[in-house]
Structure 1
Amino acid sequence: MRSCLLVAVLRTRRERRASVSIASTSRSAAGEADRGTQLTVVRRDGSTTGFDATKISVAVTKAFLAVEGNDAGTTHRVRDLVADLTGRVVEALTSRGGARRTVQVEDVQDQVELALMRAGEHQVARAYVLYREERTKARTPADPAELATTKPVVSVRQADGTQAPLDVERLRVIVAEAAAGLDSVDPEQILNETIGSCYDGIAQHEVELALVMAARSYVETEPQYSYAASRLLLDQIRREALGRVHGEPRQASQADMATAYAEYFPRYIATGIEAGLLDPELATFDLDRLSAAIRSERDLDFAFLGLQTLYDRYLLHIDKTRFELPQAFFLRVAMGMALREDDREARAIQFYELLSSFRFMSSTPTLFNSGTTRPQLSSCFLTTVDDDLAGIFAGIRNNALLAKYSGGLGNDWTPVRGIGAKIRGTNGESQGVVPFLKIANDTAVAVNQGGKRKGAVCAYLETWHMDIEEFLDLRKNTGDERRRTHDMNTANWVPDLFMQRVEADGQWTLFSPDEVPDLHDLFGDAFREAYEKYEAAADRGEIRVFRRVRAVELWRRMLTVLFETGHPWITFKDPCNLRSPQQHNGVVHSSNLCTEITLNTTVEETAVCNLGSVNLIAHLTETGLDADLLRDTVKTAVRMLDNVIDVNFYTTPESERANQRHRPVGLGLMGFADALFSLRIPYSSEAAVAFADSSMEAISYHAIDASSDLAAERGRYSTYDGSLWSQGVLPIDSLEILRSARNGDVILDDAKTLDWDALRTKVLRDGMRNSNVMAIAPTATISNICGVSQSIEPAYSNLFVKSNMSGEFTVANPYLVADLKARGLWDQVMVSDLKYHDGLLENIDRIPADLRELYATAFEIDPLWLIKAASRRQKWIDQAQSLNLYMASPSGKALDELYRNAWRYGLKTTYYLRSQSKTHVEKSTLQGTDGRLNAVSATLPLPLPEPTGAICSLEDPDCEACQ
C-alpha cells in the first residue's frame, strides 16, 4: 500500500509537468523510436541539458550514505542495489514512448524516490524526500518576482497558432484570485511552480493545466490548496462555458460572475434546448427570477476533487465542450424537480438553495438527468426473475433498459430452478441459474450508460437454493470461465432459520425452487414451518432434487469466499421483511446494488427507489445538530424526492407501475465522520454510537413527518391501507416484531428522545405519501462533490489517494492537519511519516494519544463499533443502509464473529468487506477505461485458515448507481 500511495502522489506531481512538456515532444518523436531514446532534461531555470544516468547513481548513493553512514558505499549490497535502482529509473524514464523526449529534472527525482520505495528502502526514501525539500527551499528566490526575471522568455502557442510571450502578470492575477481568503495558500509558490513547468512553445491550454496541477501538488502538505486548485479549474470552466454559450471567446473573473451569471443563464437554457439536451419546458420558467437567485460565490465552495468530478461527469457538454457552469447545473437540477409544482419558480429556488449549499445532494442519476429530455432520475431498481426462458430473458432485457439511463440493479434470481431439476418441455435437466447469470453479467458490461460508467448489477440468491455453492464461486479467478461473472456483484439472501441452524450446528437442506415454490415468498415463522415440512418430505422421498449440508460448513464457505473475492455479500431476509412497512402487499426478495434498498418485487412490478442524502456537517453547531435547520432540510428534501416519481422517465412499464403505486423514496446521510471530528468524538466510542442514534432519530422523525405532510397535501400512496403505517407501527415500533420473531435472541436498543406518540397520531390521521422514506446509500461520488466524508463511513486514511473515473486525487484529512498545526507538529517530516504509515496514526509517536484516538482510521477501529452504530441507525430506518465492514487482521474466527454480530444486532444488510495486507503488496495503478482512470485495485493476501485470495478494492469507480 505504501508503494501505491507514493505512486499516485508522485503521479500528481508528474501530471503538472509531464502533461505540459512530454505530451508535445513525444508526438513528434514517435516515428523515430528505432534510433534509441534520447532524453533532454529541463533544468529548473528553463535551460536544458542531456540526460546523464551517472548523476542518478550518485544521488542514490548519497541517500544511502545519509542513512547508513559513510561506509555504506563500500558494501556490495549497496553498490549492487544502487546499480539496480539506477537501471529502474532509467528504464522508467525511457519507456514512455518516443525517441527524443523532454523530462523535467523533478520528474527524474520523482522516479528515484519511487524506485527507493518500491525496493523497500523506506528510510532512505524518507531521507531523500527531506533532502529535496531542503534544496527546494534553498533555491526559492528571496524576491518572488525573481523567477520571472531570471527564467528565459517562454513563448506560448495560442489557439490560432500564433506565438506570444508568457504573460506572467496575468498568471499572477489569476493565482492571487484563487488564493483569496485561503490563509495557508502561497500564491507565489503556485506561480513559481507553474512557470517552472512551462517550456518554450507550450500551448495556452497547457499553461492553464499547469496552473491547476501546480496548486494540486501541494494538497498533501496543505489541504487548502485543494480549494485553490478548484478555483483555477473554475477559471477554465468559465472560459469554456461562457465562450460556448455566447458564441465568442469570453473570460470572467469570480468577481465578474456576480452579474455575468444573470446574462449567461437564459442563454445557457436556450443553448441546451437547441442542442436537444434540455427539456424545452425549462424555457417556460421565469428565467430572470431564477437568474437573480443564483449565488455565484458558492462556486468557491468546491474542493478540487468535487469540481473536477463535476466537470468530468456531470456538467452538460456539446461535442465535449462544457456549456454548463456549476450554479447553472444546480439550478437546472432544481428546475427539473420543480416542473409539476404550482409555484415552480419558488420551489426551484428552494431546491437550488438546498443543493448549492451542500445541505442535501440528490443521487447521481438525478444530477445527470434532471431537466433533460430523458429525465431518468431514479437510482435503484429491484427485479424478480421468473422461472422460464421468456421470463429470464425478459429480466435480462429489462436490466439493459434500466441500466441505459444510470440505474443500478438488484436481481432476485431465487425462483430459477437449480441444477438437475426437471424441464418438462424437453424432458431434460436444468443446468441451473449460473449460465443465465453469465449472460446478465455480460449485458451489464455491454450497456455502459453512454460511456459514463459500466452497467452495475447485483444478483441475489437465497441460501437454501440448490445452486448456492456454485453461486458462491461466481467471482473466483479460477475454474470454468463460462461459469464466472467477474463484472457482476453477488449477494446471499440469508433466512434467520439458516443462522439459527449455524448457531446450533445443525443440518441445512438445499432445494430447487420449482419443487418448493412457496419458500421464496415466506419469512419468519411461516418460512420455518414450510421449510421443515419440505425437509420431512425429502426424507420420505417426495422431493426429487435436494442435498443436505452441515449449516456451519456452508457458513464458513460463505465467509471464506467473501474474504477471497469480496462476494457474495451477506444480507438478511427476515429483518428486511419483518420490519417492512409493506409486508401486507408483497415480499422483499432482495436488496439492490448497494444493499440499502429493501422493497417488494414481483414479476409484474420492478421496485424503484429515488435517493438523496443529507449532509450532516452542514447542520452542525458547536453543541450538536441544528435541529431547526435539519428539519427544514429534510422537509424540502423529501418533497424533492417525491417529485422525482412524477417527473421521472420510465424505461419499463413494470418500474413505472411499482413507483406510481407505492412511491418509495430513500433519504440518507453523509459526512458522518466529519461530524464526529467536529464534535471531537472518536468513532470507537459510546458517544459516537449515541450520535449515530440521535442524528438518525432526528432525520427519521422529520422525514416521516414530511411524508405525512405531503399525504395531507397530495394524497396517500395507493397501497397505504394495511401497511404498518396505517396500523400506527413506525420503524422504531417494528423492532418489537423482530424481537418476537427471534424469541428475544437479538440485541436491540429501543430508546427514543423525540415525541413519537404525536407523530404516530399524525400518521394515523393524515397517512403517508411514500411507502418507504429512508435508506442510507454509499454516496461516494456526491460526497466528493460536497467535499465531505462518504456516507456513514469512518475515515479510510488520513492521507491517501482517492481514485475514481475522474482520475486520482490526493486527500489529506483537514481536521487532523488543523489539529497538528495548532500543536506545531505539521511539517514535511509528518507528511513523510503519514505516507510511510499509509495514513494511519497508531505508529507515529509524535502524534499525541488523544489525536490518534480521534483520527483513528477504519482499520484501527474494532469493527464491532461499526455494527453497534449501524444497529442504532437501523432502528429508525424503514429500509436499510450500505454498511462496509473493515478488518485489519481478518481470520476465520474473526469473520465468523463479525457477521454473526451483524445478524444478532438486527442489521438488515451488510455491504463490502474491506481488509488490509499485513505485508507490503504491489498494486496495479493502471486500470484504464477511458484514458483517464487510474483506479487502485488491490490484490491482498490475508491470513485465513482457508485458502486466501483477493478482497475488493477500496474505491470501486463502477459502483455509483446509488451515490
Structure 2
Amino acid sequence: MSLSTENRAAISAPIPTAIVAKPAAEPGYQVIRRNGAVTPFDGAKIAVALTKAFLAVEGNSAAASRRVHDIVAGLTEQIVAGLTRRADSGRSFHIEDIQDQVELALMRGEHHKVARAYVLYREKRAQERAEASSAAQAPEAPALRMKLADGTLVALDGARLAALITESCVGLEGVSPDAVRIEAHRNLYDGIRPDELALAPILAARTLIEREPNYAKVSARLLLDKLRREALSFTTGRPDQATQGEMPARYADYFRAYVATGIANERIDPELGRFDLARLASALLPERDLQFDYLGLQTLYDRYFLHVGGTRFELPQAFFMRVAMGLALREIDREARAIEFYDLLSSFDFMASTPTLFNAGTPRPQLSSCFLTTVPDDLDGIFNSIKDNALLAKYSGGLGNDWSRVRGLGAHIKGTNGESQGIVPFLKVANDTAIAVNQGGKRKGAVCAYLETWHMDIEEFLDLRKNTGDDRRRTHDMNTANWVPDLFMQRLADDAQWTLFSPDETPDLHDLVGPAFKAAYEAHEARAARGELKVFKQVRAADLWRRMLTLLFETGHPWITFKDPCNIRSPQGHVGVVHSSNLCTEITLNTSNDEVAVCNLGSVNLLAHVTREGLDHARLRRTVTTAMRMLDNVIDINFYTIPEARRSNLRHRPVGLGIMGFQDALQALRLPYASDAAVRFADESMEAVSFHTIAASVDLAKERGRYPSFEGSLWSKGLLPIDSVERLAEARGGLDLDRSSTLDWESLRARVIRIGMRNSNTMAIAPTATISNICGVSQSIEPSYQNLFAKSNMSGDFTVVNAALVRDLKQRGLWDEVMVSDLKYFDGSLSAIDRVPDDLKALYATAFEIDSAWLIEAAARRQKWIDQSQSLNLYIANPSGRKLDELYRLAWRRGLKTTYYLRSRSATHVEKSTLKGTDGKLNAVSSGPVTAAPIVVNPDAAWGQACSVDNPDCEACQ
C-alpha cells in the first residue's frame, strides 16, 4: 500500500484554523530541529499535524471536521503530557521524538488508517530530505560546545564520539555506525550537558533495535563507555575514561583500585583485600564485557553494581569476580576456586540468584533466595513471624509463610473468652510489612501467604486481592496461594461435600498427608456431625473449586499448589513436613517452630549447553559440578538474620539448581514448544541436569561429608527423585505419568547409598526473570511472550526482539520494514502474517498461541527428576471456566507439585509505533523510580483479569 498523491497533498495542505485545537506553547521546553537549531516547544503544532493526518484520510466534510476537532484535542493533550513527563534528562525534544509520539498516540487510539498514512508520509519526507542532501553539498555544521557543571563551555569532542560509535559496532552483523551516528547527532545541540552527551548515542542505538537485534549489543557497549568513565574516575579520584580497546591494559590496575575503594567505603568485605589480587586480575577477561545486550547491562547498572551515593564504581568483570571471591572465601586454594567460579559466571553458562549477586563479597553476605516459615497460633508467635519476615526481607530474601495453624474466624480465644477475627487482620499487617521493607530499594519486599483448603478462613483468603469490599480485609501487595490436599481433588472428582475447620480444633491436619490425612479428616467430619466441634462449615467441593479458579483469574491469586506430592516425594519427610512453598512456588522444604527453611538458588543456561545435535553432556557436567560447589558454599558463608534460618540451613544444606533459556534451546534445536518432541526434550534435559546435580552432591559429600540429617532420608534408602514418583502413585492409587529414563541411574543410586549426599535437596526451577535478562536468554522454562515487544521492569521499558527469529527471517529474505510493522500490529505474533512459512510460525509461536496443556506436559516430565518443584506460569488467551478447570485438574493428575501465575493478555499489547522514544526511560542510566504498570483486564475476556504478563511490579517479571 502506498500513500496516494491526494493524501500526501492533504497532509501537506493548509487547513482551516477553526478546527485545530490550540494548546498554549509549553514554557521552558525546547525543540531541536533537524539542522541543530533550537526553538521553543509549541503544542499547537502537534494539533496541526494530527488534524492534517485525519483530514487526509477521512475527508474535509463538516461532520468529519467536528469529529476530528474532538479527537485531536484529546490526542494532543496526551502527547504533550507524555513528552513533558519523559523529559527527565533535560527539557529538550528532537523533532523526530515528537513525531514518534504522535505516531504512538494514533496507534494507541486505534486510528490505524490515519497512523499508517502518517507513517508513510514521514518516510516519504525522509526520502526527499535524503535525496536533497545528496544532490547538494550540505553546509558545514556549526561547531557544537558542551556546558560543564560550572557553566564553562568547551568544544564537543566529535572525533571521540565517532570513534566510540564505530568501536561499539565492531564484529556485529547488520549494524551501521553511520546510522547510530546520524541518530545520535539529532539529539546534540550547542550547550549540551556531559550526561546528555553520554546518553545521546545510547538512545540512538536503542531506536534501531527493533529493526536489527544486534543494536541491543551496540547500545550496551555505548552504555559501557559511560560506566567506564564513572568507575575509572571514582576509583582513580580524577576524571578518567577509556575505550574498550584500552581496557585489557587498564583492567588489572582498575581491579586493585576497585577492591580498595570498595573496602574503604564499606561496600566490600575487607577479607577480599587479602586475596592475591594480581593473580585474580590477570584472570579477568575484558572481552566478556561485550557479551551483554542493553537490557542486561542496564539492569546490572540499576540494581546490582556497587555504588557510593549513586556513583557506580564496579565494572562487569569486577562484579563477577567480586561474587566469585565472595563464594570462594572458605576454599583452601581460594584464588583458584574464585577464578573457576568467575569463569562460569562471566561466561553466562550459569548465573547465581539475585541475592547472591547483590551481596556476595560484601560486609553482609545474605546470599539465600528463599525463606519459608510456619506461623504459630498465638499472638507472640504471629508477631514474631512478621518481625522475622522483615529481617529476612531486608537483605533480599523472598518469603513463603504458612498460615494454616492460625485459628479461624469465630474460634474461641481462651485468654480473653472472646472470638478470633481469623487470619485476615494479621495478613494485612504482614502485607504492610512487605511494603515497608523494600530490600534497600533494589526490589520490592515480597511475601506469599499459604493456606490449606480445609481452613475455616479459606473463602475470605480467596478474596484478599480483590479491589472491592472492605479494604481493611484486603492485601493488595501480598501474594497468596492455596495449599491443596489430594483429598480435596478427590472430593471434587466425586462431586462431594467438603468441610472447613478451625485448626485450633483440628491441629493434626496441619502435619498429615496422604492416607493419614484422609483418615483424620474424615474422623473430624464425624466429630462435627456429632456436635463435638464449635467452628466448621460444609460446602460443595465443586463450588469452592469454582470460586478458587474465578478469583485466580479475576485477581491472579491465590495460586494453586498441591500439598501431598510436595510431601510424599520430599526426601526429608523423616524429619518434618512441607507446609508451604515459597514466593515463587519452586521450593518445597520443611518448616517448624524451630526451623525456617532456606534455599540457595542458581540457574544453568540451557541454551549454552545445546548444539544442533542436542545436549552437550560434557559441558553440562562441568557447569553443574562447579555450580553445585558454589551453591553449597553459600550455606557456610551466608549471613543469617535469624537463628532458625541458620539452624535449618546447616542441618539440611538444601540448594536449588535450576535452568533457564529452555525456549531458546528448543529454537536452537528447531523444536516447536507445542510438540511431543519438545516434551521429550524437557524430559531428556532435566534428566541430565538431575543426574549431574545428584552426582555433584555425592562428590561434595565424599570431600566434605554428608549433610547432618541424611540418615533416614529417601536418599539414604536409595530412593532418588525418579523413585519417589512411585510413592505418589501408591498413595493415589495410580499416576498418569511417563516414567522412562535413559541414563545409568543404578550406579548413581549405589553411590548415593554408599557415600551419601551433601545436600538434602538439590534442584528447583526458579522464575529467573532478572538473571535471564543479564544473560540475554529466555526466562526459566517459559515460552516466548512475544517476538517483538516492550518489556517493563524496575529499570524501565525495553524493546525486546527475538534475535533467532530475525536470523531465520533474514535467511529467507523476509526481514524488512513491513515485517517489523506487521509484528507490531499483530502483537509480536507470526500467525496472521501470511508470507511467513508454517514451520517458522510453529517454531516461534508465542505463549498465548500455545495450549497451556503443553506446558503442563513438559513440566510433568521435568517434575519426575526434581526433588523440589518448578515455577510454572500458565497462559490463557481466551479463558473460560471450563478451560481453567481442565488445566488445573490436568496439572494435579500429572503429579505436579505447584503452579505459579495464571497469565492473561494486557488490554494494550505491543506499542504499534516505531518504538523510538518509548523503549525505556529517557534517563536511561539513572536508577530513579519507575511508575508501575497496572494489571489490566483482557478486553476479550468476559469475567475478570489475571496477572498481566508485562506488569513490572510482579515478582515473576523481575
Q: What's the TM-score once normalised by structure 2's chain length?
A: 0.93
Determine if contact 1:401/1:651 at 8 Å carries over to the other structure.
Answer: yes
The one-letter code sitting in structure 1 at the alignment partner of 2:112 is H
State the SS of the aligned residue for 1:74.
coil
Change (3 A) 1:168 1:812: same
Change (3 A) 1:758 1:548: same
Q: Aligned-pair distance for 1:879? A: 0.2
Give the match for residue 915 of structure 2: none
Q: Aligned-pair distance for 1:247? A: 1.0
Change (3 A) 1:962 1:309: closer
Change (3 A) 1:576 1:392: same
Change (3 A) 1:491 1:160: same
Query: Structure 1 residue 611 and structure 2 residue 596: aligned?
Result: no
Query: Structure 1 residue 328 and structure 2 residue 318: aligned?
Result: yes
Q: Identify the match of residue 722 of structure 2 among 710, 718, 732.
A: 732
Query: Structure 1 residue 933 and structure 2 residue 930: aligned?
Result: yes
Give the match for residue 614 of structure 2: 624
Change (3 A) 1:59 1:388: same
Q: Aligned-pair distance for 1:961? A: 9.1
Query: Structure 1 residue 234 and structure 2 residue 224: aligned?
Result: yes
Partners of 1:81 and 1:438 lie apart in 2 by: 49
Deviates more, 1:468-477 or 1:56-65: 56-65
Change (3 A) 1:51 1:339: closer
Partners of 1:174 and 1:952 lie apart in 2 by: 42
Give the match for residue 466 of structure 2: 476
Give the match for residue 329 of structure 2: 339
Q: Aligned-pair distance for 1:104? A: 2.4
CA deviation profile, 1:194-249 (whole Å, cap 9, x unmatched): 11111221101211101100001111111100000000000010111011111111
State the SS of the aligned residue for 1:249.
coil
CA deviation profile, 1:570-593 (whole Å, cap 9, x unmatched): 000000001000011110000000
Give the match for residue 10 of structure 1: none
Q: Identify the match of residue 380 of structure 1 among 360, 370, 390.
A: 370
Partners of 1:448 and 1:38 lie apart in 2 by: 36
Determine if contact 1:672/1:791 at 8 Å carries over to the other structure.
Answer: yes
State the SS of the aligned residue for 1:486.
coil
Change (3 A) 1:838 1:464: same
The one-letter code sitting in structure 2 at the alignment partner of 1:767 is G
Query: Structure 1 residue 679 and structure 2 residue 669: aligned?
Result: yes
Q: Identify the match of residue 528 of structure 2 among 528, 538, 557.
A: 538
The one-letter code sitting in structure 1 at the alignment partner of 2:936 is T
Determine if contact 1:505/1:551 at 8 Å carries over to the other structure.
Answer: yes
Change (3 A) 1:942 1:757: farther
Q: Aligned-pair distance for 1:144? A: 9.9
Partners of 2:439 and 2:326 lie apart in 1 by: 20
The one-letter code sitting in structure 2 at the alignment partner of 1:749 is D
CA deviation profile, 1:839-893 (whole Å, cap 9, x unmatched): 1111111211111111000000011000000000000000000000001100011
Q: Aligned-pair distance for 1:818? A: 1.0
Superposed counterparts of 1:28-47, under 5 Å: 37=27, 40-47=30-37
Determine if contact 2:950/2:957 at 8 Å carries over to the other structure.
Answer: no
Q: Aligned-pair distance for 1:89? A: 4.5
Determine if contact 1:379/1:961 at 8 Å carries over to the other structure.
Answer: no
Partners of 1:148 and 1:649 lie apart in 2 by: 64
Query: Structure 1 residue 791 and structure 2 residue 780: aligned?
Result: yes
Change (3 A) 1:318 1:56: closer
Give the match for residue 951 of structure 1: 946
Change (3 A) 1:263 1:485: same
Query: Structure 1 residue 114 and structure 2 residue 100: aligned?
Result: no
The one-letter code sitting in structure 2 at the alignment partner of 1:80 is R
Question: Unaligned 5+ residue runs, structure 1?
Answer: 1-32
The one-letter code sitting in structure 1 at the alignment partner of 2:60 is T
Change (3 A) 1:765 1:52: closer
State the SS of the aligned residue for 2:723.
coil
Determine if contact 1:663/1:717 at 8 Å carries over to the other structure.
Answer: yes
Superposed counterparts of 1:510-909, under 5 Å: 510-744=500-734, 746-909=735-898
Q: Identify the match of residue 73 of structure 1 among 40, 56, 59.
A: 59
Deviates more, 1:107-116 or 1:144-153: 144-153
Partners of 2:136 and 2:177 lie apart in 1 by: 15
Partners of 2:291 and 2:727 lie apart in 1 by: 45
Determine if contact 1:334/1:348 at 8 Å carries over to the other structure.
Answer: yes
Q: Identify the match of residue 389 of structure 1 among 371, 379, 394.
A: 379
The one-letter code sitting in structure 1 at the alignment partner of 2:205 is A
The one-letter code sitting in structure 2 at the alignment partner of 1:82 is V
The one-letter code sitting in structure 2 at the alignment partner of 1:218 is L
Partners of 1:682 and 1:468 lie apart in 2 by: 40
Q: Aligned-pair distance for 1:329? A: 0.3
Partners of 1:199 and 1:908 lie apart in 2 by: 59
Change (3 A) 1:234 1:52: closer
Determine if contact 1:216/1:229 at 8 Å carries over to the other structure.
Answer: yes
CA deviation profile, 1:284-304 (whole Å, cap 9, x unmatched): 111111000000000000000
Partners of 1:251 and 1:300 lie apart in 2 by: 17
Partners of 1:762 and 1:475 lie apart in 2 by: 48
Q: Aligned-pair distance for 1:932? A: 4.0
State the SS of the aligned residue for 1:681.
coil
Give the match for residue 13 of structure 2: none
Give the match for residue 23 of structure 1: none
State the SS of the aligned residue for 1:459.
strand
Determine if contact 1:363/1:962 at 8 Å carries over to the other structure.
Answer: no
Change (3 A) 1:636 1:52: closer
Give the match for residue 434 of structure 1: 424
Query: Structure 1 residue 91 and structure 2 residue 73: aligned?
Result: no
State the SS of the aligned residue for 2:722.
coil
Change (3 A) 1:380 1:493: same
CA deviation profile, 1:160-180 (whole Å, cap 9, x unmatched): 432123222211100000000
Superposed counterparts of 1:63-212, under 5 Å: 63-64=53-54, 68=57, 72-76=58-62, 78-92=64-78, 94-95=80-81, 96=84, 102-140=92-130, 150-212=140-202
Partners of 1:516 and 1:508 lie apart in 2 by: 15
The one-letter code sitting in structure 1 at the alignment partner of 2:859 is A
Determine if contact 2:878/2:941 at 8 Å carries over to the other structure.
Answer: no
Give the match for residue 349 of structure 2: 359
Partners of 1:243 and 1:747 lie apart in 2 by: 62
Could you tell me the percent identity over the aligned residues?
Answer: 66
Question: Unaligned 5+ residue runs, structure 2?
Answer: 1-22, 913-917
Q: Aligned-pair distance for 1:62? A: 5.4
Give the match for residue 16 of structure 2: none
Determine if contact 1:775/1:881 at 8 Å carries over to the other structure.
Answer: yes
Deviates more, 1:612-621 or 1:930-939: 930-939
Q: Aligned-pair distance for 1:935? A: 3.9
The one-letter code sitting in structure 2 at the alignment partner of 1:789 is S
CA deviation profile, 1:248-290 (whole Å, cap 9, x unmatched): 1111111111121111111111111111111111111111110
Give the match for residue 257 of structure 1: 247
Q: Identify the match of residue 237 of structure 2 among 243, 247, 270.
A: 247
Determine if contact 1:53/1:86 at 8 Å carries over to the other structure.
Answer: no
Give the match for residue 488 of structure 1: 478
Q: Aligned-pair distance for 1:76? A: 4.6
CA deviation profile, 1:654-693 (whole Å, cap 9, x unmatched): 0000000000000000000111111111000001101111
Give the match for residue 17 of structure 1: none
Determine if contact 2:147/2:193 at 8 Å carries over to the other structure.
Answer: yes
Deviates more, 1:46-55 or 1:730-739: 46-55
Change (3 A) 1:73 1:661: same
State the SS of the aligned residue for 1:231.
helix
The one-letter code sitting in structure 1 at the alignment partner of 2:409 is I
Q: Identify the match of residue 274 of structure 2 among 284, 309, 313.
A: 284
Determine if contact 2:798/2:919 at 8 Å carries over to the other structure.
Answer: no
Change (3 A) 1:342 1:784: same
Partners of 1:569 and 1:345 lie apart in 2 by: 44
